[in-house]
């Protein structure tokens, strides 16, 4: 007899803010997810009854954790690939699986996958440490280990010898794109091969930190461009053979063409607005996939803006949320704090979602909040 859906043991590798929001999505169904994270005070630790402290880069820790689960998911890519492979060898479903992760963990392999499958992306080449300096404007990325602006360097002019290399490790070199704007599409792909996707969001980046400052949804692009982006994202998920969530980030070029920039096989910052602004959030959809439930509708319930609540430039220590008090006076403003015990410069400490029918007003309010509201350090 098959196990009841609400009795399945679901393990999530990672215990950060994405894990916390996954547990919040599962809570209305009285489902307790299980989490593995190396930090005893990880954001999900105070919310989950089933939190295990353990190293996600240890194959032994992942195997020990996942071996008691019916299904294993993740909220973070930089985990032990061998650990997932061991679980799959035992017949435990992993969404996404090790084959997907082996591509995603290496930005060079991501690019090769896109090229081999006819999916549009920036012209690129791969360099090993010690290779010669590129002689054209370019974007340089660490193939492994980069995150939230770390491991990415933009050269608007050809880099000079004294500026090279910008990082230690194997590098991905991309042609500098003539970008009009950046958008993202979230796709959910189910075990039966069916897909659901949300409307594209438009991302605006913090120039100094090179990370998302705020986003607008729906993206201010044509209907034809939106449809094309959704189709490309769904095609990428299908060709990866992915089951779970896939965030596909695009460059919309000044000539109207779309290039896939990067992909992430998990809940993603660019999908956070779906909690308030969609019929089914990215987090609920992932829980549905892991539990074996039917897809939820991904229609937008209205326009939204999302702002990351970042640590102030010089903030180090215990977070002080005093500056956020005024946000609770704003109509259609939803505040999410991640429960992190330490604030650092530009660290994501939470986000807010703004709802309104006035997209211009949303943009102005998002700019104002992203500029003025920061999480400081208290005593």
- Give the CATH number of the domain where residue 282 resides: 3.30.470.20
Residue 103 lies in a domain: no
Beta strands in the chain (DSSP E): 10-13, 34-37, 51-53, 71-74, 93-94, 124-127, 138-142, 152-155, 171-175, 179-189, 195-197, 201-206, 211-217, 244-253, 258-264, 304-310, 319-320, 333-337, 348-355, 376-377
Cα gap 80→98, rounded to integer Å? 9
The reply to whether 234 and 198 lie within a common domain is yes
Same domain for 87 and 225? Answer: no
For residues 185 and 155, state if they share a domain.
no
- Which residue positions in the chain have pLDDT lower than 50? none
Output the domain CATH number for residue 58. 3.40.50.20
Domain identity same for 133 and 39: no
| 100: in domain | no
Cα R_g (the chain), whole angstroms: 20
| pLDDT number for residue 147 | 66
Q: Is residue 350 part of a domain?
A: yes
Residue 347 shares a structural domain with residue 226 = yes
359: enclosing H helix or E strand: helix 359-372
Structure confidence by residue, pLDDT tens digits, 54-108: 999 999 999 999 999 999 999 999 999 999 999 999 999 999 999 999 999 999 9
Distances, alpha carbon 1 to alpha carbons 4, 5, 68, 290, 302, in Å: 9, 12, 18, 19, 42
Give pLDDT, residue 343: 97
**Total Cβ atoms within 10 A of residue 7:** 9
Round to whole Å and give the CA distance between 169 and 133: 14
219 and 346 both lie in a single domain: yes
Is the pTM higher than 0.85? The answer reads: yes
Q: Are residues 367 and 285 in the same domain?
A: yes
Domain residues for the domain of 22 are: 5-94
Task: Name 70's Cβ contacts closer than 8 Å, sequence gap at least 6.
Answer: 3, 8, 9, 10, 92, 93
* Residue 259 within a domain: yes
Q: How many domains does the chain have?
A: 3
Residues 183, 228: Cα–Cα separation, whole Å:
12
Same domain assignment for residues 204 and 317: yes
Closest-CA residue to 190 (of 286, 320, 328): 286
Task: Please tell me whether residues 216 and 285 are part of one structural domain.
Answer: yes
Q: Return the pLDDT at 213.
A: 75
Both 348 and 224 in one domain: the answer is yes
- 344: in domain: yes
Distance CA 98, CA 118 (A): 23
Q: Are residues 142 and 155 in the same domain?
A: yes
Residue 102 lies in a domain: no
């Amino acid at each position: 007899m098959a196990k009841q859906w609400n009795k399945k043991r679901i393990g999530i590798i990672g215990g950060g803010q994405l894990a916390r929001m996954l547990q919040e999505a599962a809570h209305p169904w009285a489902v307790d997810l299980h989490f593995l994270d190396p930090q005893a005070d990880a954001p999900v630790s105070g919310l989950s009854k089933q939190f295990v402290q353990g190293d996600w880069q240890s194959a032994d820790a992942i195997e020990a954790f996942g071996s008691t689960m019916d299904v294993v998911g993740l909220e973070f890519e930089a985990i032990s690939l061998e650990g997932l492979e061991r679980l799959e060898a035992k017949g435990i479903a992993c969404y996404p699986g090790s084959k997907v992760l082996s591509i995603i963990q290496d930005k060079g392999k991501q690019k090769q996958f896109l090229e081999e499958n006819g999916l549009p992306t920036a012209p690129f080449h791969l360099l090993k440490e010690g290779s010669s300096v590129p002689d054209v404007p370019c974007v340089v990325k660490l193939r492994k280990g980069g995150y939230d602006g770390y491991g990415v360097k933009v050269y608007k002019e050809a880099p000079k010898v004294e500026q090279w290399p910008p990082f230690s490790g194997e590098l991905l070199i991309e042609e500098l794109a003539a970008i009009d704007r950046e958008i993202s599409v979230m796709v959910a792909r189910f075990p039966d091969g069916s897909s659901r996707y949300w409307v594209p969001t438009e991302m605006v980046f913090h120039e100094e930190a090179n990370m998302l400052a705020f986003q607008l949804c729906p993206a201010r692009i044509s209907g034809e461009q939106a449809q094309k982006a959704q189709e490309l994202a769904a095609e990428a998920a299908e060709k990866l053979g992915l089951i779970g969530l896939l965030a596909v980030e695009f460059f919309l070029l000044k000539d109207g063409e779309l290039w896939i920039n990067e992909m992430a096989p998990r809940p993603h910052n660019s999908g956070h607005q779906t909690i308030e602004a969609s019929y089914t959030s990215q987090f609920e959809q992932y829980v549905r996939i892991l539990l074996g439930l039917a897809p939820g509708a991904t229609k937008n319930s209205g326009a939204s803006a999302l702002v990351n609540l970042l640590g102030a430039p010089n903030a180090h220590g215990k977070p002080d949320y005093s500056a956020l008090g005024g946000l609770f006076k704003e109509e259609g403003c939803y505040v999410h704090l991640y429960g992190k015990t330490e604030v650092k410069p530009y660290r994501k400490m939470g986000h807010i979602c703004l709802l309104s029918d006035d997209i211009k007003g949303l943009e102005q309010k998002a700019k104002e909040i992203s500029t003025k509201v920061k999480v400081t350090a208290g005593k």
